[in-house]
Amino acid sequence: MSQSTPSRGKKRLALLLIALAQFVVIMDTSIVGVALPRMQEDLGFGPENLSWVFNAYVITFGGLLLLGGRLGDVFGARRMFATGWVVLLAGSAVAGFAGNVAFELIGRGVQGVGAALIAPAALTLLMKTFGSSPKELGGALALYGAAAPAGGTAGVFLGGVITEYMSWPWVFFINIPLALLVLALVARALPADGPRIRGSIDIAGALLVTAGLAVGVFAIVRAPEVGWTSVETWGTLVAAVVLLALFVLVQALRKEPLMRLSIFRIPNLAAANLAQLLLAAAWIPMWFFLNLYLQQVLGYSAFPSGAALLPMTAFTMITMIVFAPRLTAKFGPKTMTVSGLLALSGGLLWLSFIRVDGTFWVDVLPASLLAALGMSLAFIPTLGTAISSAPPQEGGLASGLVNTSYQVGSALGLAAMTAIAAANGASDLGNLPALTTGFSSAFIGAAVIALAGALLAAMTLHGPKRAPVAEKETASAR
């Protein structure tokens, strides 16, 4: 019986490991940002394919999340959680030791596979540990929710410190001691798996959705080089649509699909996932091009570039943990989501006025703080709504969906803004006016995405003005 009522200390340790898992898998999306110019020099990346250091991770991560959740259901969440850390460790070693573009991208892809096993298992373990107590569950979900944006923003600063004072491979090697620590504590802290359940694994669905996303992103990234009207661009885009359509068809026909399509008929679930997708599609390009502007135009080295974004990092974390949950409880998820996306759009539009002879205090700091405020206010209510809208027994699937939405938005948003920036001069290295114009165009494009997200959230989100966590607690208490 002790397994069903773990001690307070064991629960704290379990929550620490679960939050650390969420922190690390999201940190690995942003920690490479400041290191990208050094990696470009050392490994020979071209401007048009540098973003694949990011995309190789988020596409495999986002594309395999639903499969990771299914594997956790069949083989056990704790087992998949530990397996994911082993895979992440291996991918980090390959990426850190890579001596060329191919091995770097392979390592990043393997990291994404590990993250796709870790993330859904982490939420399942959280529900297993704290689900019997609505009060404890509310606090655990708040920390879990804050760990993702904290990891994303903290990764920017850590990337700068590591790149400046060590070397860029250490942005990958940092995962190795963390993985070893987690693996040493898994059996002691996390609830044991029950007996394996019988069920099939939809490998075909996982391969189709991952391939469809990868092909689509590749088409967008390549378009500025080969032309938007070229046969290659349109042929690749059509291939991506066909692959994703086949994925939907497979899900409709299988008895045990990777993703039950009818889940999108649940009120607010589809709307919250769409908001998360567009939030990521605007937010991720912002820090990517802000890093490049600081280094390639303003001339910052790696550490000052990371440090320049520390105020935004601290502001995001404080707003996320202290203010966003209270404001969401008071004004409701819809109001906070729309307000947050509007603020993010305003911050991005402000950033589009960057200058060749700009300064951090005028061109970067105020606009980045406004964008961070918007992201902080929108992230918590959309995450909570996406998870709490589904019935409790499908919480794992809902978690996989919202994680997938965020990662897909990240990859597609960055691919699209990279194409826009390249078409407007960002590929002309050394030409500061051209670089500034290219980066500015990417900020404008991201601002349009955030504005579209605000308008769609205003039209599609419904429900009472009640915090999602409160709804979750009510459901778990029956």
Please state, in angstroms and rounded to a whole number, the distance separating the CA atoms of residues 124 and 131: 10
Please state, in angstroms and rounded to a whole number, the distance separating the CA atoms of residues 114 and 82: 10
Please state, in angstroms and rounded to a whole number, the distance separating the CA atoms of residues 159 and 305: 9
Write out the two tokens for 148. Answer: 């993702």
Residues 226-273 pLDDT 10s: 887 899 999 999 999 999 999 999 999 988 887 888 888 888 999 999
* Domain ranges for the chain: 8-189+256-476, 203-255
Q: Yes or no: say if 374 and 341 are a contact pair by the CB < 8 Å rule.
A: yes
Determine the topology of domain 8-189+256-476 in CATH. Growth Hormone; Chain: A; (1.20.1250)
Write out the two tokens for 188. Answer: 């002691």
Rg (CA), the chain: 21
Residues 99-118 pLDDT 10s: 898 999 999 999 999 999 99
Residues 408-425 pLDDT 10s: 888 789 888 988 998 899
What pLDDT, on the 0 to 100 scale, is given for residue 72?
A: 82
- The H or E element containing residue 426 is none
Write out the two tokens for 13. Answer: 């340790």
262 alpha-carbon distance from chain centroid = 25
User: Which amino acid is located at 347 in the chain?
Assistant: G
Average pLDDT over residues 281-287: 90
Instruction: Tell whether the model's pLDDT for residue 169 goes beyond 80.
Output: yes
Please state, in angstroms and rounded to a whole number, the distance separating the CA atoms of residues 149 and 171: 18
Please state, in angstroms and rounded to a whole number, the distance separating the CA atoms of residues 32 and 163: 9
3-state secondary structure of 334: helix
pLDDT band at 134 (very low <50, low <70, confident <90, very high): low
What pLDDT, on the 0 to 100 scale, is given for residue 471?
A: 42
User: Which amino acid is located at 6 in the chain?
Assistant: P
Identify the top-confidence range among 197-211, 356-370, 389-403, 412-426. 356-370
Write out the two tokens for 186. Answer: 């898994």
What pLDDT, on the 0 to 100 scale, is given for residue 41?
A: 86
Closest of 125, 144, 233 to residue 185, by C-alpha:
125
Please state, in angstroms and rounded to a whole number, the distance separating the CA atoms of residues 381 and 263: 19
Write out the two tokens for 472. Answer: 């979750």
Residues 14-71 pLDDT 10s: 999 999 999 999 899 888 877 888 898 888 887 667 778 888 888 888 778 888 877 8
Write out the two tokens for 307. Answer: 């440090």
Residues 6+ apart with CB under 8 A from 181: none
Q: Yes or no: say if 433 and 305 are a contact pair by the CB < 8 Å rule.
A: no
What pLDDT, on the 0 to 100 scale, is given for residue 476?
A: 37
Write out the two tokens for 93. Answer: 């070693």
What pLDDT, on the 0 to 100 scale, is given for residue 148?
A: 74
